[in-house]
A = this chain, B = another copy of it.
Amino acid sequence: MLVLVTYDVSFDSENGKRRLRQIAKICQDYGIRVQYSVFECDVDPAQWIKFKQQLFNVYDKEVDSLRFYKLGKNGQKKIEHHGAKPSFDLFKDVIIL
């Protein structure tokens, strides 16, 4: 099933940049980065449980936000993209919130 993962990681708290990199790295193991903090992940139910747990182990639930959108089996049909494709470097570009 296709799951969209979006996240905001706060830099107000300590280790924000590290958490951001770790979250992006975990998502990269399960899917494709389509925007800076947006990943499209095609996972089976068992992978999904493992994937979520890895994210929960890293993110700071007080200040970070994780959102999951279950797009289902033919999720690709529900997606429209306009404009530039991602070309940023995962670890180079930093977001300051």
Contact = CB atoms under 8 A, between A and B. Distances in A.
Contact of A84 (B65, B70, B85, B93): B65
Query: Assembly of this chain: how many copies?
Result: 2
A78 B82 contact: no
A65 B35 contact: yes
A23 to B, nearest CB: 11
A82 B79 CA distance: 23
A81 interface: yes
Interface residues of A, number: 40
A8 B78 contact: no
A94 B37 CA distance: 15
Interface of A: 4, 6-8, 10, 34-38, 56, 59-72, 78-86, 88, 93-97
Given A72-B78, A94-B96, 14 more contacts: A4-B69, A6-B38, A8-B36, A10-B84, A35-B37, A35-B65, A65-B84, A66-B82, A67-B79, A67-B81, A68-B81, A69-B78, A69-B79, A70-B79
